[in-house]
Amino acid sequence: MCQDECLVNTNDSPRCQWLKSDQQPLKKKGNGRNIHISDWTCENSGWLALNAEQIAVQAALPVEQHLKFTDVRKIIYPGKNHDAWWNLDQLMEQMTVNIFEYLHPEKVAIWVFDCSSAHEGLAIDALNVNNMNVNPGGKQRHLCTTVIPMNNPPPKPGYIDTRGQTQTMVYPEDHPDPKLQGKPKGMKAVLQERESVWDELKMRCRARAPVGKCGDCLKSQAKKDAEQRVGEAEAMGQEDALADTNITQANEPIAAPSNNWCCMHCMLSLQDNFANKKLLLQNYLEGCGHVCLFLLKFHCELNLIKMLWA
């Protein structure tokens, strides 16, 4: 199953026109209204839609057994005072999977998508450290229950091994502290429940207490990229200077390695269940028993539906 989207404009004109020798083509100044088309194709049945015979069979069924849609193609006219952008995840749930399972009962589909930012949405309760505060409560989301990763550092002798234990990200409603009842846990509480990780973080921070987000993590990506380029240039300069003075050194990186234990935000973001969280599309399709695949970045030509769009 391959999915793709196409955007055209109402004023798109043909490349060739028949005109008299003294005439000029009259073209609109603007592109006109956008026309956005989304569709799926199936290897066995072509475009994912019911044919006339199948639609007639649907019409003969009781109303409660009707499919809500008989064709997954979605055409909208987005723009100011026009159609709103549709939600791909909602579209999958409402029509696409239902139509496929009607056409191919008891079959497993492999759904293929371009690696696009439009497909990278996360569930509201996904494990995302950017949706967490340092302390409990406040304006932070209620995240889903998870399992503490098994590859965390081992516990100290005599301490409880928390690896593999279920961890809730929200305090229970019957918590002894009324102020915490039903409140989402912050980064600090989550890390403290992962005892070996919290102990390791405190040890790496040495004299100072662990901070929520350090200065390096607060920097924008543009600033980080600029500093990396400067560091690489300085490293090349040092290598040239060493070569000029005929000094040999072991092949070790000149730049200092990055510190993954710099703060709570960085440490928690690198935990397996936070770093490897699944996208909303993937969660939904796998929950339905299907397979979800994303193509390589910048290689949308691998999507077979492109041949049909052409």
CATH (domain of 115): 3.30.420
Query: Does residue 3 contact residue 38 with C-beta atoms inside 8 Å?
Result: yes
Cα–Cα distance, 280 to 52 (Å, whole number): 33
Residue 69 within any structural domain of the chain: yes
Q: Tell me how many domains the chain contains.
A: 2
- Look-up: residue for tokens 């500093």? 227
Residue 188 within any structural domain of the chain: yes
Per-residue model confidence (pLDDT) at position 193 = 94
Same domain, 140 and 173: yes
Q: Render 163-207 in DSSP notation, one character per residue.
A: TT-EE-SB--TT-SSGGGTTPBP-HHHHHHHSHHHHHHHHHHHTT
Cα–Cα distance, 224 to 173 (Å, whole number): 42
Per-residue pLDDT of the chain (310 residues; tens, 9 = 90+): 888 888 888 888 777 778 888 888 777 778 888 888 889 988 888 889 999 999 999 889 898 888 888 898 888 888 888 888 777 666 776 688 989 999 999 999 999 988 877 777 888 888 999 889 999 988 899 999 999 999 998 998 888 899 999 999 999 999 999 999 999 999 999 999 999 999 988 888 876 888 888 888 887 777 777 878 888 888 887 665 555 554 444 444 433 334 578 889 988 999 999 988 888 888 889 888 999 999 988 887 888 888 877 6
Same domain, 168 and 199: yes
Same domain, 202 and 266: yes
Query: Does residue 149 contact residue 271 with C-beta atoms inside 8 Å?
Result: yes
| Containing structural domain, residue 135 | 129-218+259-275
**Largest CA-CA distance found in the chain, in angstroms, rounded:** 94
Same domain, 74 and 115: yes
Same domain, 106 and 133: no
3-state secondary structure of 146: strand
Closest CA to 216 of 266, 268, 279: 266
Residue 254 within any structural domain of the chain: no
0.85 exceeded by the pTM? no
Same domain, 271 and 288: no
Extract the tokens encoding 101: 């399972």
